[in-house]
Amino acid sequence: MWAWAAAGALYLGAAAAAVEFAWDRAIDALAQVGAHRLDLYAASLKSELGRFEMMPAIVARQDSVRALLRAGSRASPELLHDVNTYLEAVSDDAGSLAVDVIDLQGEVIAASNWNQSFSFVGTNVSYRPYFKDALVHGTGRFFGIGTNTGMPGLYFASAVRDAGKPIGAAAVKLSVDALEAAWRTPGEAAMVIDSNGVIVISTVPAWKFTAFRPITAQQQRDIQASRQYAGRNVDALPYRRVGEWNGTAWLGRFPDWRRAGHTTQFLVMSRTAPQAGDSITVLLDVATARRQQQIALAFVTGAFLIAGLYALYAAQRRRTIAEKLKAQDALRLANDRLEMTVAQRTAALVETNERMKQEIVERKRTEQRLRDSQQEVVHAGKLAVLGQMAAGLTHELNQPLVAIRTLCDNARTFFERNQPEQAVANLERVAKLVDSMAVLTGELKTFARKPDVERVAVSLSEAVAHARLIYEARIRDEGVQLDVKIPAGTTVWAESSQLQQVIVNLLGNALDAVRNEPKRVITIAAADPDARERVLFTIADSGPGIAPDVLAHLFEPFVTTKPRGHGLGLGLAISSRIVEGFGAKISAANLADSGADGGAQFTIEFAAATSQRVVHGR
Ligand code: ADP
């Protein structure tokens, strides 16, 4: 907006300057033309008037003219005729309008147009200034309109003297028509203004005998008296001064002689021209200057239009570039934002990652702690087992030892009393107690030893049959129903006597469990659930099941619920170690826990002896 306003102001300034400059230059050129015209017109006026200036003086020296004036009314008609014809010849030769001779009373007594209808002869011109001037000063000059002819002209007069005294005057009247015709130039006006300020020669006929300068009332009266302009009223030329030019010219608005009712501005220049009166004045139409101004204005406007168009183009270009830059900026901003978002997300991820790492470390630490405490528990468990074992052993060995001690003391007493049979009986009982202690330590040896035995394929039904044989009497006496469901030919990887020991132990426990039950059923079964890869051996009873607190420690040594003398709590612990030695697994569960009817169920998961796998024990 501001740029356009500034450009507008600049344009206005430049246009004004250009217009003024063009005007000044054109007016300067016009002023030069005017000066040249003035030179020319002054010269032509001088030469034109110069031709006639001396004419009245020459006529005044003519003898016949003087004789006629001396004779006055007494002059002979011949003399008058001579003078008239002389004047006619002179006027014709010189090309003047008229030549006449005037007596002291101002009466024209002879004239070149003596035989014309408008002859001056007899006319009184005593009121004419040229006549008065001629008598007083010797010469007179006057521009006026002829009273007889009505034709404007320039009068030159000269006194006619006789013995140094004026006796009359000779006057020449000449036309300025030729001069006016010669000066007429298109777009210009030229005029001569007399001492009254009245235009007497003009290339514009209508302006003739109008006042160029304001005329006072006295001047107007004098003009009327001299009948200089044939008694006409002298009107002022209606023009207006509108400006000055360098002191040598001025600008004025004049009625345009080419277009009626219009006024036009002219450059006005003047020069004194004493030959004819006051001054020569030329008017030059400033239309050319106006045209120059228009051309300059057009040039400046064109230049500004081109500059404006270029500015528009540049602005458009700048806008396009700015938009492109803006788009680039927006893209960069979006990119930055994206990068920032990515950075933020990455930071968040890194943070999450860090947190996860910390959590992993924490988990690991917790795991470690758990493992430590587990190991501690295991260790504590082991210690507990050891303590239990030591306590059990002490207990189990202490009783026979006390008994042996007592029996030995008694045996000595019997020897001292000389009762050897009694002493021998005591010693036999000691031997039995030592045997039972040996059994106990033997069993412990089995528990402690890690059996390293070669396993073979052992028939499950044979092992079960062996165990059944051992408890045959009990099963029968206690009325136990024993169901054996083992598919024929089911073999497992084991050591025969150890497997028998395990089954005897499990069957013994089952018989103990059902002893006080109204319903006494024991079921021994085998199945190979996954195509002879594994064999699941189970022995279930209809007993009360295993107490929950016992279940957790079932396979640990010296865990028993049986009354003293009936169980050591070593059976399942030993069985478990044996089974491990086979590469098999033993587990126990209450049938009631899985919703079934019955008491405890023990399961041994064997590797089937039919598989290609050969298992070596530890
Ligand atoms: P013991 O028979 O000398 O007690 P075991 O190690 O053979 O030692 O058994 C430990 C305990 O497991 C038993 O005292 C008994 O409480 C429990 N138990 C074993 N078998 C059964 C079973 N079939 N039914 C119920 N309880 C059983």
pLDDT at 410 over 80: yes
Distances in Å between the Cα of 7 and the Cα atoms of 16, 307, 399, 543 are 14, 10, 131, 119
C-beta 308 within 6 A of ligand 1: no
Task: Tell me the average pLDDT across 288-311.
Answer: 90
Ligand 1 centroid vs 497 CA: distance in angstroms?
A: 21
Contact yes or no for 84/99 (Cβ under 8 A): no
CA atoms within 13 A on the CB side of 379: 6
pLDDT in tens, 372-406: 776 666 555 556 556 666 766 777 788 788 889 89
Q: What is the DSSP string of 473-522?
A: HHHHHTT-EEEEE--TT-EEEE-HHHHHHHHHHHHHHHHHHHTT-SS-EE
Task: Return d(Cα 145, Cα 157) in angstroms, integer.
Answer: 15
C-beta 510 within 6 A of ligand 1: yes
pLDDT at 347 over 80: yes
CA atoms within 13 A on the CB side of 332: 6
Can you give the pLDDT at residue 33? 92
Q: What percent of the chain has pLDDT over 90?
A: 42
pLDDT in tens, 58-89: 999 999 999 999 988 888 999 999 999 999 99
Tokens of 542: 């209809």
Can you give the pLDDT at residue 225? 79
pLDDT at 448 over 60: no
Tokens of 615: 């298992």
The per-residue pLDDT of the chain, averaged, comes to 86
pTM check: above 0.85:
no
C-beta 591 within 6 A of ligand 1: no
Can you give the pLDDT at residue 612? 45
pLDDT in tens, 84-110: 999 999 999 988 989 999 999 999 999
Distances in Å between the Cα of 46 and the Cα atoms of 41, 42, 582 are 8, 6, 166
- Mutual orientation of helices 2-53 and 287-416 as an angle, nearest 10°? 170
Is 558 exposed, middle or buried, given 0-12, 13-18 or 19+ CB atoms closer than 10 A? Answer: buried
pLDDT at 530 over 80: no
> pLDDT category, 613, cuts 50, 70, 90?
very low
Looking at the CA of residue 569, tell me the nearest atom of ligand 1.
8
Contact yes or no for 265/241 (Cβ under 8 A): no
Q: Where are the alpha helices (DSSP H) in 170-216?
A: 177-183
Can you give the pLDDT at residue 588? 95
Can you give the pLDDT at residue 288? 86
Residue, of 43 and 609, whose pLDDT is higher = 43
Q: Where are the alpha helices (DSSP H) in 73-197?
A: 77-94, 129-137, 177-183
Rank 131-135, 278-282, 520-524 by mean pLDDT and report only the highest: 520-524
pLDDT at 439 over 60: yes
C-beta 180 within 6 A of ligand 1: no
pLDDT at 549 over 70: yes
C-beta 561 within 6 A of ligand 1: yes
Can you give the pLDDT at residue 397? 81
pLDDT at 54 over 70: yes
Looking at the CA of residue 543, tell me the nearest atom of ligand 1.
24
Residue, of 354 and 246, whose pLDDT is higher = 354
pLDDT at 128 over 70: yes
Can you give the pLDDT at residue 389? 65
Contact yes or no for 286/251 (Cβ under 8 A): yes
Q: What is the DSSP string of 15-80?
A: HHHHHHHHHHHHHHHHHHHHHHHHHHHHHHHHHHHHHHHTHHHHHHT-HHHHHHHHHGGG--HHHH
> pLDDT category, 611, cuts 50, 70, 90?
very low
C-beta 509 within 6 A of ligand 1: yes
Walk me through the domains of the chain, giving residue ranges and CATH numbers. Answer: 2-52+178-285 (3.30.450.20), 54-175 (3.30.450.20), 290-439 (no CATH), 450-617 (3.30.565.10)
Q: Which one of 501, 560, 577 would you pick to mutate in the ligand 1 pocket, going by the greatest count of ligand atoms within 8 A of its CB?
A: 560
Ligand 1 centroid vs 509 CA: distance in angstroms?
A: 5
Contact yes or no for 198/230 (Cβ under 8 A): no
C-beta 228 within 6 A of ligand 1: no
Give the least confident one: 109-118, 344-353, 385-394, 588-597. 385-394
Can you give the pLDDT at residue 208? 86
Rank 21-25, 367-371, 382-386 by mean pLDDT and report only the highest: 21-25
Ligand 1 centroid vs 451 CA: distance in angstroms?
A: 23
Cβ-based neighbour number of residue 147 at 10 Å: 16
Residue, of 166 and 230, whose pLDDT is higher = 166
pLDDT at 617 over 50: no
Residue with tokens 């040039």: 299
